[in-house]
Amino acid sequence: MQSNPEPIQPVRPRKAKTAAGLVGGFGLLGLLLSLVLFADVLDSHGASVPAIVFLLYLAQLGLSATQLACGVFIWLGRSWARSTAVGISVINIIGAVVLLFTGAILPAIVGAAVNGGLIRLLTDDDVKDWCDE
């Protein structure tokens, strides 16, 4: 009697592993920095904090949590996670352009370059193929 062979698991490409790690890592870093930012906002020594600051904090927290989740689901090969991660990188590039106008030139250039590299990695054929399976 013949036994059923185990189904062959697809091999996760190295670029997909790298993309998942970077996206998830940046999401985790963003969450940690959001907590530091929130502690700083709360420690305003009784000064009134504009509502826009809390709105921006919540937006950062939401984007970071979404980016962390995207890293996990890119690892699992979900196409929606790859597309969402590309969208978050585009939002981050727009933020870097806005940052240029505040005079923070080096952080803006680094942020735009990192997110441009992430977009390039996320749109690589190996990563697209992995996430479309």
- Looking at every residue in the chain, the average pLDDT score rounds to 89
Mapped onto helix, strand or coil, the DSSP state of residue 3 is coil
Dihedral over Cα of 55, 63, 38, 106: its sign: negative
37-94-42 Cα angle (round to 5): 15
* Mean pLDDT of successive 10-residue stretches along the chain, which has 133 residues: 68 94 95 86 71 84 95 95 96 92 91 95 95 81
Query: Mind giving me the DSSP string for 79-103?
Result: HHHHHHHHHHHHHHHHHHHHHHTTT
Burial category of 124 from C-beta neighbours within 10 Å (exposed 0-12, middle 13-18, buried 19 and up): middle
Per-residue pLDDT tens digits for 91-100: 999 999 998 9
Does the pTM of the predicted model rise above 0.85? no
Per-residue pLDDT tens digits for 92-126: 999 999 989 998 899 999 999 999 999 999 999 99
Unique residue bearing structure tokens 């933020």: 95
